[in-house]
Amino acid sequence: MSNLYLSISLEVQAALQENRPVVALESTIIAHGMPFPRNVETALRVEKMVREAGATPATCAIISGKLSAGLSTAEIELLGKEGANIPKASRRDLAYLVSQGKHGATTVASTMILAHLAGIRIFATGGIGGVHRGAATTMDISADLQELAQTPVAVVSAGAKSILDLGLTLEYLETMGVPVIGYRTNAFPAFYSARSGFGVDFCLDSATEIASLLKAHWELNFQGGALIANPVPEAHQLDADLIEKTIAEALAAAERLGIRGKAITPFLLAKIENLTGGRSLETNIELVLNNARLGGAVAVALNAQSLRQV
């Protein structure tokens, strides 16, 4: 799609023009989710995983005021080195950053927007945002959920971040008509662990089945996307009770320091990493790689089905 503010890399552009599968990737995980240089190393490994699955990676960010789908290694390194100096960009921030010619690291919501503008249907990330604990009084609800309800991009994630109120997050998705698909699981994953105590809407056992559901979803002219819940590999998951205790400590620290809004998630993830002695970071990396692998497979399957129809 032609857009004055959109920049698509030559590699991604060629893949789209030749009807080859493409997977969008976010950049908040680079600038705000991990320390340098692990963030850059992980971003490049994630791109490699997508390629090995048979698709083209399109890491998304705002670079000098351009909504960029497909970054160079130098641009990924820029985001990684600058880290928290790069603004975290959700839907509300895009027009400002574009108008000011600034950089921005895309969240789930803004990556979905960039992917849709570029014509990319599949997006792989770590975990989505959702309804925060205590939202009944704070009204802290991630823009990711509304984006899933209105933007036709499927998101592969390890469920929602376990720092959230997962029950209310799923209730919100149900209300907004967003299908939650479990990949080879009936349990909704809780980011660091494979089970949250909540279920998914549908359990599907292959990328082909997921692609068929997505194809039908969009051919029925439903407006929004879908959430594909892919549990963290068992060998890398953390004990659910340990994580819950750690999250409680991190939330208490955030409350004491008065940290709220979009600063809360990176603060909590960093605090959890510190409290777990770095184990949570290793789990985070493994689940992102796992999601990239599935995202690539789903993109390939969806592309094959669409080509057969043509």
**Catalytic site positions:** 26, 161
- Measure the CA dihedral 42/45/47/49, to 10°: -130
Both structure tokens of 224: 């929004």
CA dihedral (44, 305, 301, 176) positive or negative: positive
CA dihedral (59, 32, 194, 112) positive or negative: negative
Residue whose entry in the numeric block shows the structure tokens 């390890």:
158
As a whole number of angstroms, the distance between CA 37 and CA 76 comes to 11
Helical (H) or strand (E) element with 57: strand 56-63
Residue type, 123: F
- In terms of Cβ atoms closer than 10 Å to its own Cβ (0-12, 13-18, 19+), residue 305 is middle
- CB-based contact 272:280 (threshold 8 Å): yes
Cα–Cα separations (whole angstroms), residue 267 to 52, 115, 129, 256 = 33, 27, 14, 13
As a whole number of angstroms, the distance between CA 211 and CA 199 comes to 21
Q: Is the backbone of residue 20 left (phi > 0), alpha (psi -120 to 50) or beta?
A: beta
